[in-house]
Chain A
Amino acid sequence: MAFYNRNSILNSMIVGRPIINLRSITRGLRHLLKEYASQGIVPFLIGFGFFLQGCGLVFDAVEMVHPLAPHELSAICSRGQVRVGISVEPFRPFVFPAVYTDEGVRVTGLDVELIREVAEALTTYCGGQKPVVPTLHLTRFRDLFIEMNEGHLDLFVSSVGGNVPGARPVGLWYSIPYFHNDGVGAMIQNPEVAERVRAQFQHQAGHADTLAAIQAGLSGLTVAAQKGRTSHLYAEANLKNIRLLICDSLPAAVETKDPRIDVILSTHSILDYVTKHVWPDWHLLTRNDGTPLILTQEYFSIVTVEEHGRLQWFLNNLLYRLEESGRLEQMRRRWVEEDYAPTRRAATEGLPFEVSKVPDHYDQGQCRFATGR
């Protein structure tokens, strides 16, 4: 039984929140009450609680045993809306920048297609009488965790790594994977950087210590990563001898001229897309055999809060069904392998979003050196 989580320090790094979290304390008390429920202590506490003014924890405990409010899926059905958070920073091909279409402003990408699947499945769950409409909240990536924790969202989808150490803020739950076999990759502009890294791999030949080769290859270089993303956490944990630049977004890293960035770390499939379609001056960092250099593996999950057990099962069951039917693989091929124009897809299958919920003027932000390393 722990009242705080050891990950809290890393969580606070991601979400920019105080380390002591009232929610985790509440959760701990709830857990205690659950454990002692069978011993008749709960009725005693309830009776006792009536003598305490404003003791919300007791009512929380009562609600856990006998829910007074409808559960999260019922709430979604009665609203006819599922509130979904999605990153305002583009993570192509998962989330493309919002564009204007004949239908108005739309956002598209693999994550958006997944949201449509979730909404369709919720429509069926809710009886199919009226469609459950996904209400997209375009929010800065770092704010998604806060919005989720504060109850403004039912779930969020933004190519979030589900198996990354230190990436799970307290109180949030991560689904089974909807996108497998991705990982942290790297892109470079200067071919000499690639040669330097490859030379280290050559040097390490026979030892097969990839991490040591990566550490040696990147040592002394200026390496950029987006704040709170897997690449940032990886660099903080594993790459001690680099000059780490923390950026608000991937475009901010690409745009930064001073200091000159040698390597940008990010999700491999995102780098693969942008080096082909958006920033042709940048190239994937590859191994000696020409295959892309992957620093660590990750899979992507849908995120919701820990308390939403029914929604969690709903999402896991849906993702399993989509996996089994080959639908997830089809989505992966459509967005990662096929040649297409995102603007056209936005016009035909994009989703609208709440313009009032986005930053006034989306600015891709800046980069700054990591402190305290």
Chain B
Amino acid sequence: MLMKSRALLFISLSLVCFLMWSSIGWAQAPREEIEITAQHLATLLNVGRLIIERNQTLINDSRIGNKGFTPEVFEHEVVDEFIGQTQIDLKHLPSHLPSLATELLPVLLQSSKEVVADAQFVINQRGIGYKNFIPATFGSQAARKFSNRSHVKIKQTTLNPRNLKNTPDAYEENVLKRLATQPALNTSIIEWINNDTTLRALTPIYYSQDCLACHGNPRGILDISGYPREGAQEGDLAGAISIQIPMKSR
């Protein structure tokens, strides 16, 4: 009789432990999934910016009309670069990818393609050199289009934004100030805020040599687009890609 009741107690405790463990597991899985998704989204937006930067000379070539830099060409280059950086093929997303990423990466890719499609008229103007279709303007529009289509908010932000819509909120400002004083990071800063209900991820962007034509020295002198140069140096913090994903909407 005693043995029986002990066995029953053991089974009950095991069951409770199992249920507790499994419930923790269920709770943790989405968090990890969201964090991985945020990183992939930041990488994809950054890859899009990189492709625009690589094609900048072509885009600004005043001698050519139709540049052939179509949304399809852009997509092809983005897919190749994304594979190179993450080993993930955006055209055949692997099954191990979190379902949230599987859902959202194609949306961001499509939004980015649409930005390039919208800009075709500007890109293909012959006789016009600088067209202001640059990584920053591409990124702003791609992020906006994507954010309008999903529950996830993406934004480019910096401490001294040229576009006031990119002004950092209190959280972003705090993290950017921290990043500005640290050596360059090649990872995102990810935190859960509001009682763990919202993920905030900031992926820093650093100035490359190409950026300095507009953002470098002489400080204060207007660049080609009419904004005063920031006097930045290669490797300085340019800003960040900020991502907000609420847990509830899953």
A-side interface residues toward B, CB under 8 Å?
90, 97-105, 249, 251-252, 255, 340-347, 355, 358, 360-364
Contact = CB atoms under 8 A, between A and B. Distances in A.
A105 B140 contact: no
Nearest to B222: A341
Contact of A363 (B65, B136, B140): B65
B131 interface: yes
Interface stretch (B38-46, B177-185, B223-231): B223-231
Contacts of B28: none
Contacts of B128: 90, 97
A345 B226 CA distance: 9
Interface string B114-127: 00001101101111
B122 A98 contact: yes
A250 to B, nearest CB: 9
Given A100-B131, A362-B121, A362-B126, A340 B137 contact: no
B233 to A, nearest CB: 23
Nearest to A96: B128
B127 A255 contact: yes
A105 B163 CA distance: 15
A251 B225 CA distance: 21
A342 B131 CA distance: 11
A101 B137 contact: yes
Contacts of A344: 225-227
Nearest to B124: A361
Contact of B119 (A105, A341, A358, A362): A105
B223 to A, nearest CB: 8
A97 B128 CA distance: 7
25 contacts: A97-B128, A97-B131, A99-B133, A100-B134, A101-B132, A101-B137, A102-B136, A104-B118, A104-B141, A105-B119, A105-B122, A252-B127, A255-B127, A340-B226, A341-B224, A342-B226, A343-B226, A347-B163, A355-B118, A355-B121, A361-B66, A362-B125, A362-B126, A363-B126, A364-B127
Contact of A98 (B121, B141, B222, B224): B121
Contacts of A249: 127
Contacts of A364: 126-127
B130 interface: yes
Please list the 9 inter-chain residue pairs (A to B) with the smallest Cβ-Cβ separation, ordered nearest first.
A341-B226, A344-B226, A251-B127, A100-B133, A102-B140, A343-B225, A99-B132, A364-B127, A97-B128
Interface residues of B, number: 29
B135 to A, nearest CB: 11
A261 to B, nearest CB: 15
A100 B131 CA distance: 6
B127 A343 contact: no
Given A341-B222, A361-B65, A364-B127, A100 B122 contact: yes
A99 B122 contact: yes
Nearest to A89: B127
Nearest to A107: B122
B120 to A, nearest CB: 8
Contact of A100 (B66, B132, B166, B224): B132
A109 B165 CA distance: 23
A179 B128 CA distance: 26
A98 B163 contact: no
A95 B235 CA distance: 38
Contacts of B127: 249, 251-252, 255, 364
Nearest to A364: B127
A347 B224 CA distance: 13
B126 to A, nearest CB: 5
Given A102-B136, A102-B141, A361-B66, A343 B130 contact: yes
A251 B63 CA distance: 11
Contact of A346 (B66, B126, B132, B165): B132
Contacts of B65: 361-363
A102 B125 contact: no
Contacts of B122: 98-100, 105
Contacts of A346: 132
B140 to A, nearest CB: 4
Interface string B202-243: 000000000000000000001011110000000000000000
A98 B227 contact: no
A362 B65 CA distance: 7
A341 B221 CA distance: 12
A105 B224 contact: no
Given A344-B227, A355-B121, A364-B126, 19 more contacts: A97-B128, A97-B131, A100-B122, A100-B133, A100-B134, A100-B138, A102-B140, A102-B166, A249-B127, A251-B127, A252-B127, A343-B224, A344-B226, A345-B226, A347-B132, A355-B118, A361-B121, A362-B65, A362-B125
Interface string B136-164: 11101100000000000000000000010
A307 to B, nearest CB: 32
Contacts of B226: 340-345
B137 A100 contact: yes
A358 B125 CA distance: 11
A341 B225 contact: yes
Nearest to B123: A100
B130 to A, nearest CB: 7
A345 B227 CA distance: 10
A345 B163 CA distance: 12
